Structure 1
Amino acid sequence: MSEETTVIPVRGTDGMRDYEVLVGRGLLGRLAEHLGPRVAKILIIHAPTLAARAEALREELSDRYQVLLAEVPDAEGAKRVEVAAFCWQILGQTDFTRSDAIVGLGGGATTDLAGFVAATWLRGVDVIQIPTTVLGMVDAAVGGKTGINTAEGKNLVGAFWAPRVVLCELELLDTLPRNEILAGYAEVVKAGFIWFPEILDIVEADPVRATDPATPEFRRALELAIRMKAHVVGEDFTEQGLREILNYGHTLGHAIEHAERYQWRHGAAISIGMMFAAQLSLLTRSLSEADVERHRRILDSLDLPTSYPAGRWPTLLASMRRDKKARGALMRFIVLDGIGRATVLQGPEEQLLFAAYQEIAS
């Protein structure tokens, strides 16, 4: 595959604009091309590990714009109302107007926060997302869902807000630790389970090449996952229907993240959640035992966890009941009728959930 930039369009629905996801190398040097003509100020919200990269961007843009930097905590520590308030304070003190722009530079938590700050400041300013992790590129930065966490759960406060553009700069992945690549790859594999089985074929053929950012196999899987997200978001921006399938593995996964006080990587929790969802699909739908085992084999090949302690079930169940995916008193799970065929299971009996959990309990 060539190093040319891949342009993946996202169709705006529910009053949101169309935008594009660009995948390639050398994209950061073209950031100014994507800023609106009236932009005077830019706030770059970035993770601590990206301070040097943010400073370099500021220097590149400083001849045309007033560039402000907001360093925020790493990972889920960024998604707190106190951090959002810190960003709002910077915007207020610098007279940030509706024609200015925010840039989110970091992993999924950073882009979630940047999108939320953009959505809420003056009821909406432009945001350009520059995800720096696999997870951010295929999931958090693409869909326009923004949010922060509360003590009661993950992403309970948020807004839908489409970015102006998403720049997936592959060079940013070259220096990521392998465990970081693998944690984010859980969302790539999810796209394979619910939409593009070709991703699963790529992983099964050679897990090492599939997870190496320098290979065409990695780029193919990454772009397929982004295309899936772009299509689903374009059909259902505010999660009234199709978009719900993106929650495959997330109901239990979010409960595990909450139980672990957000110290776990998102992908590790979602990996266990997908194993649980596969077992639930076996019990309630037509997913075969072979496909359940395929889940386990692929996730194992990526060094992702597939089990969780048996004694934690009551805590997880209580957390799932509070999950934002529940409707009224009914819990909702995305399950599979087969690989690539996702559907909604609403209000399953608790004994069914417990039986599925027992199959992944350690």
Structure 2
Amino acid sequence: MNEITRIPVGGDQAYDVVVGRGLTDQLSALLPGADRVAVLASAPLAAKADTIEAALRADGREVTRIEIADAESGKTIETAAACWDRLGAAGFTRSDAVVAVGGGAATDLGGYVAAAWLRGVRWVPVPTSLLGMVDAAVGGKTGINTAAGKNLVGAFHPPAGVLCDLDALDSLPPADLRAGLAEVVKCGFIAEPAILDLVERDPRAAADPADPAVRTLIEYAVRVKADVVGGDLKESGRREILNYGHTLAHAIEKVEHYTWRHGDAVAVGLVFAAELSRRAGRLDDATADRHRAILTALGLPTGYDADAWPELLAAMRVDKKARGSRLRFIVLDALAETDVLDGPSDALLADAFSAVAA
């Protein structure tokens, strides 16, 4: 029996996140009236894209396949422009749609392509990574990278729905699955402690796509994000809590020229954020220490090059969460109790980084 879970995301443009196995037949229902559909996917995901294309054609849709570069290397204005050229050549109108197949980078790019074409056409992300399922594909944030930093160019453009087909995780490299768990753990610390309890009980099960624990963790994390973004699409309030650990994470990705997995960078960023919370007198020792223990149990990194601090600090100053010359960080006052630390001193930041410096 193929059990399907539908998690609603509210707001002015409500939609469902569909979680289950073998979900290709659910796609067409999300795009009524779309005569033309562009399917964006990288070469390694050609087989998955073939299945989606066949299902859409069987439903009478005209399909344009667009191959994009894999991972963060494809999130460029050049790639987006090439996609727009293909949409124009195929005669895409406002009633048509885009389907983005892949990890977080592919769904970020696909959503931005859809957001900008004719000032917004429908789109559906089909995330094939754990990171994509619990983070990038949910919430309507779309974007590309530039030389100045990650995701500094983008748009808020909610999808028509999200298909989290768990079959995709069966062939996901273990390192990619573990990296995605960093975003799940983040949700545990900011809003849903049951996630942390589940991971601590059996870290191996949490990293095994065949174990029911993975589906449970995905649904927990998606519900956290759905609850947050449903009431704050454009990050004007509570949605900021989802940035916990991400200011340093994005700086690491930039310094590493996007060769690090996003989740690995987030894991380091979470430990840094916990140390910043502790050293600012906000967070108790046990909760701060719990970050490193859980991430280590999952095999995720918790340290970074000590000599890189000046470069990381410079990168954080152009992060999209900064306000003028002041850095802003999401911190914890207690488990599942978040707040903003506005304008911490360079000395405090350096002190917190000393705890993750390797």
TM more than 0.5: yes
Instruction: Give, in whole Å, the separation in 2 of the partners of 1:185 and 1:3.
Output: 24
CA distance in 2, matches of 1:24, 1:318: 42
Q: Please, which of 40, 64, 85 is the counterpart of residue 35 of structure 2?
A: 40
Percent sequence identity is 54
Determine whether 1:125 maps to 2:124.
no
* Corresponding residue to 1:166 among 162, 165, 172: 162
Query: Is 1:219 the equivalent of 2:218?
Result: no
5 Å-filtered alignment, 1:276-295, equals 276-295=272-291
Q: Is the contact made by 1:251 and 1:273 (CA closer than 8 Å) also made in structure 2?
A: yes
Q: Does residue 142 of the first structure (1) align with residue 138 of the second (2)?
A: yes
Report deviation, 1:279.
0.4
Gaps of 5+ in 2: none
Task: Establish whether residue 204 from structure 1 lines up as the match of residue 200 from structure 2.
Answer: yes
Cα distance in 2, alignment partners of residues 113 and 306 from structure 1: 28
1:117-158 residue CA offsets vs partner (Å, 9 max, x unmatched): 000000000001110100000000001000001001000000
Deviation at 1:218, TM superposition (A): 1.3
Contact 1:285/1:336 (CA < 8 Å) preserved in 2? no
Say whether residues 1:273 and 2:269 are aligned partners: yes
Report matched runs for 1:5-24 at 5 Å: 5-12=4-11, 16-24=12-20
Matched, 1:304 2:300: yes
Q: Distance in 2 between matches of 1:248 and 1:61?
A: 38
Per the alignment, residue 76 of structure 1 pairs with 72
Are 1:258 and 2:257 counterparts? no
Between stretches 267-276 and 288-297, larger displacement belongs to 288-297
RMSD: 1.0
Structure 1 Cα separation of the partners of residues 95 and 282 of structure 2: 51
Whichever residue aligns with residue 49 of structure 2, its letter is: A
SS at match of 2:158: coil
- Which digits, 9 at most, give the CA deviation of each residue in 1:192-236, with x for residues without a partner? 011101100001000011122222211111101000000000111
**Among 241, 251, 274, the residue aligned to 1:245:** 241
CA distance in 1, matches of 2:281, 2:113: 40
Matched to 1:262, the amino acid is Y
Quick check: 1:285–1:335 contact (8 Å CA) kept in 2? no
Say whether 1:194 aligns with 2:183.
Answer: no
Q: Deviations over 1:141-199 (max 9, x none)?
A: 00100000100100000000010000100111111111110011100000001110110
Q: Deviations over 1:41-92 (max 9, x none)?
A: 1000112211122122222222401101111011101110000001000001
Determine if the alignment matches structure 1 residue 325 to structure 2 residue 321. Answer: yes
- Aligned counterpart in structure 1 of residue 45 of structure 2, from 40, 50, 64: 50
Structure 1 residue ranges without an equivalent (≥5)? none
Q: CA deviation at 1:285?
A: 3.6
1:191–1:228 Cα contact (<8 Å) kept: yes
What is the aligned partner in structure 1 of residue 83 from structure 2? 87
Q: CA deviation at 1:18?
A: 0.6
Q: Equivalent residues in 2 for 1:56-71 (5 A)?
A: 56-63=51-58, 64-71=60-67
Displacement after TM superposition at 1:3 (Å): 4.6
Aligned residues, how many?
357
Moved over 6 A (4+): none
8 Å CA contact 1:335, 1:345 repeated in 2? yes
Cα distance in 1 for residues equivalent to 2:51 and 2:7 = 27
Q: Distance in 1 between matches of 2:54 and 2:311?
A: 48
- Secondary structure of 1:174's match? helix
The TM-score, its normalising length taken from structure 2, stands at: 0.98
In structure 2, the residue matched to 1:116 is 112
